[in-house]
Amino acid sequence: MSDCLFCKIARKEIPAQIVFDEGDVLAFKDVRPQAPVHVLIIPKKHLARVLDLSTEDAPVLGDSWGGNALADRFSVRESGFRLVVNNGPDAGQAVAHLHFHFLAGRPLRWPPG
Ligand code: 5GP
Ligand code: ZN
């Protein structure tokens, strides 16, 4: 997708604070962090929303998606973290490229707003 913001980040056409870049997955800091640690995990392949994942995408659903690499990187394996996927308008999805929010570093209220 030539005009997709996160595809441009994945292609390194626009800058981002990249946390890791492994195989089919990229993680970078959210530009408007909602917690001390707020990282977005994306497939480099353009998928507009989580509903578009299929079994062929299973290889990208590895450790990175589960947050393992980030949990260690930010030392929150024991203190905890939250993975969030917003899908569609009611969830407030603003960027139409699948992304998992990795949030940590403070107590997170439940339920979310
Ligand atoms: P959504 O609401 O779609 O689940 O989340 C989109 C997220 O992308 C928001 O948290 C927003 O702050 C973040 N975001 C939007 N534009 C940019 C950008 O250009 N760079 C980075 N790093 N994050 C962005
Ligand atoms: Zn995209």
φ, ψ for residue 22, nearest 5 deg: -135, 120
74: how many CB neighbours lie within 10 A of its CB? Answer: 18
- Rounded Cα gap, residues 67 and 82, in angstroms: 9
What's the rounded mean pLDDT across residues 40-44? 94
In the annotation, is 99 catalytic?
A: yes
Which tokens sit at 41?
């995990």
- Structure confidence at residue 27 (pLDDT): 94
Amino acid at 28: F
- Structure confidence at residue 100 (pLDDT): 94
Which of 38, 97, 99, 101 is catalytic? The answer is 99
Q: Which atom of ligand 1 is nearest to the CA of 85?
A: 4
Is residue 110 a part of any domain in this protein? no
The answer to whether the CB of 97 is under 6 A from ligand 1 is: no
* Residue 33, domain extent: 5-104
Of the candidate ranges 15-29, 54-68, 81-95, the one whose mean pLDDT is the lowest? 54-68
The answer to whether the CB of 33 is under 6 A from ligand 1 is: no
Is residue 113 a part of any domain in this protein? no
Q: How many domains does the chain have?
A: 1
Cα→Cα distances 97→51, 65, 107, Å? 11, 15, 27
The answer to whether the CB of 89 is under 6 A from ligand 1 is: no
Amino acid at 43: P
**What percent of the chain has pLDDT above 90?**
79
CATH code, 70:
3.30.428.10
Q: Which of 54, 60, 43 is nearest to 98 (CA)?
A: 43
